[in-house]
Amino acid sequence: MTMSFSRPTAFAGGLVFAALALSACGAAPAAQTGGGKTAATAISAGDLGGMQGLITAAKKEGTLNAMALPRDWANYGAVIDGFTKKYGIKVNDENPDGSSQDEINAITSRKGQGRAPDVVDLGSSFALSAAQQGLLAPYRVASFDKISTQQKDAQARWYNDYGGYISIGCDAKRVKPCPTTFAELLKPQYKGQVALNGDPTKSGSAFGGVYAAALANGGSLDSIQAGLDFFGKLKKNGNYSPVESTPATVEKGETPISIDWDYLNASYADEFKTKGITWQVAVPQDGQFAQYYSQAINKDAPHPAAARLWQEYLYSADGQNLFLQGYARPALMPTMETDGTLDKTAAAKLPPVTGTPMFPTDAQQAKAKQDLAQGWGHAVSG
């Protein structure tokens, strides 16, 4: 998850939220079945006697520690409220405007502490990195087999949950005309107006923005360099703004053009209507890049049963449709269309796109992340 809308800034997916009141207490004892399996070692609900056993253990823990989940990011507010209402488990969402890297840092720096995150919502490249570092617990949700092979780790350490396409959001009252392609962003009338939702070396959404720019400028999933070059041009001609785009900066007129996921830009369009802002959203045809965010469990989660129950909720029809109602495309959307559990009204409101998206492989993402880390500062410095 930089969002500050950016869940990612610091990821902030998201705005100012109340900080989590952290407890110095340790984690509750892990629930254990007669067969010796504990919630911390359970790789499916079956290891705890089925869903009812998992629910009982999770309710006994009573708390779930999460990070970087802005309430206006992919409808996470409704997701969190729905989970708490259904199971009576309090969700502590620390640093809602935080980044995927912040989540990983919290796992490593708080190991063994009761305030460590139980679950993480990560940009896909960050999920891959966390798995490689041995930070994530394998766990197969009930719907694991319905998630496409390309959208999950074979060892079930992470799996994609919701996603969308990189889009260009624009304040139509401040910007005339609104750009709809990456090529148009280079026009001189957009000086100082083009922003990302965070730092692409930390933010999944900003990372996607640079990848999309690469595809729009002769690059490929194998090479993100063209995206770095594009933002270098934006910086040189004065169009790139280093201000992280958030709803607050949009309202102030500081970031009238925002490159971000379509589900975020679309949800902001709804929000801004009540504030007199006409926010237009376009998925650029010259740089069509889609990506999903991944869910995972901290291997050393202080509330291991609640962490696993949270995953089950997110991948249920209820959880998936809540993401869809926030304009995000759920990972189980194809199977839900087939079995009749998809919210068709919400699906009809998604920003239109054409063609079939291609997703970078783990190796391609890892290389792109490395190239960004080495080249982003140089591209936008000065």
Residue 9 lies in a domain: no
Q: State how many domains the chain has.
A: 2
Task: Measure the N-to-C terminal CA separation of the chain; round to a whole number of Å.
Answer: 28
Q: What is the mean pLDDT of the chain?
A: 89
Residue 354, pLDDT score? 81
Compute CA distances 371 → 220, 319, 367, 375, whole Å. 13, 35, 6, 6
More confident residue, 80 or 267: 80
Phi, psi (rounded to 5 degrees) for 339: -90, 0
Residue 230 lies in a domain: yes
Q: 280-322, pLDDT tens digit by residue? A: 999 999 999 998 999 999 999 999 999 999 999 999 999 999 9
Residue 23, pLDDT score? 29
Instruction: Using the predicted structure, report yes or no on whether residue 6 has a pLDDT greater than 50.
Output: no
Residues 180 and 219 placed together within one structural domain of the fold: yes
β pairing state of 90-94 and 63-67: parallel
Q: 127-155, pLDDT tens digit by residue? A: 999 999 999 999 999 999 999 998 999 99
Lowest mean pLDDT among 210-224, 243-257, 339-353, 355-369: 355-369
Question: Tokens 């399996």 correspond to what residue?
Answer: 37
Instruction: Using the predicted structure, report yes or no on whether residue 78 has a pLDDT greater than 90.
Output: yes
Residue 172, pLDDT score? 97
Q: 169-181, pLDDT tens digit by residue? A: 999 999 999 999 9
Residues 283 and 295 placed together within one structural domain of the fold: no
Reported pTM: 0.78
Residues 253 and 305 placed together within one structural domain of the fold: no
Residue 7 lies in a domain: no
Residues 66 and 177 placed together within one structural domain of the fold: no
Residue 189 lies in a domain: yes
Residue 125: pLDDT band (50, 70, 90) is confident
More confident residue, 37 or 235: 235
Instruction: Using the predicted structure, report yes or no on whether residue 110 has a pLDDT greater than 90.
Output: yes
Q: 33-70, pLDDT tens digit by residue? A: 445 579 999 999 999 999 999 999 999 999 999 999 99
pLDDT > 90 fraction of the chain, expressed in percent and rounded: 80
Residues 55 and 156 placed together within one structural domain of the fold: yes
Residue 122, pLDDT score? 95
Residues 67 and 150 placed together within one structural domain of the fold: yes
Instruction: Using the predicted structure, report yes or no on whether residue 275 has a pLDDT greater than 70.
Output: yes
β pairing state of 257-261 and 119-123: unpaired
Residue 307, pLDDT score? 99
Residue 373, pLDDT score? 95
Residues 127 and 185 placed together within one structural domain of the fold: no
Q: How far apart are CA 115 and CA 25, in angstroms?
A: 8
Instruction: Using the predicted structure, report yes or no on whether residue 260 has a pLDDT greater than 90.
Output: yes
More confident residue, 5 or 360: 360
Residue 32: pLDDT band (50, 70, 90) is low
Residue 173 neighbours by CB under 8 Å, 6+ apart: 276, 277, 278
pLDDT > 70 fraction of the chain, expressed in percent and rounded: 90
Label residues 187-209 b or e (16+ Cβ within 10 Å = b).
eeebeebbbbbbbbbbbbbbbbb
Lowest mean pLDDT among 79-93, 264-278, 349-363: 349-363
Residue 11, pLDDT score? 30
Residue 300, pLDDT score? 98
Q: What is the CATH number of the domain that holds 231?
A: 3.40.190.10
Residue 353, pLDDT score? 86
Residue 362, pLDDT score? 78
Residue 254 lies in a domain: yes
Residues 295 and 277 placed together within one structural domain of the fold: no
Residues 194 and 126 placed together within one structural domain of the fold: no
Residue 204, pLDDT score? 83
- Supply 155's token pair: 């060892």
Residues 227 and 372 placed together within one structural domain of the fold: yes
- Supply 191's token pair: 């000086």
Residue 374 lies in a domain: yes
Residue 296 lies in a domain: yes
Residues 157 and 170 placed together within one structural domain of the fold: no
Residue 22, pLDDT score? 25
Lowest mean pLDDT among 19-23, 34-38, 118-122, 178-182: 19-23
Residue 25 lies in a domain: no
The domain of 360 spans: 164-288+356-380
Q: How far apart are CA 145 and CA 221, in angstroms?
A: 27
Say whether 267 sits in a helix, a strand or coil: helix
Residues 281 and 312 placed together within one structural domain of the fold: no
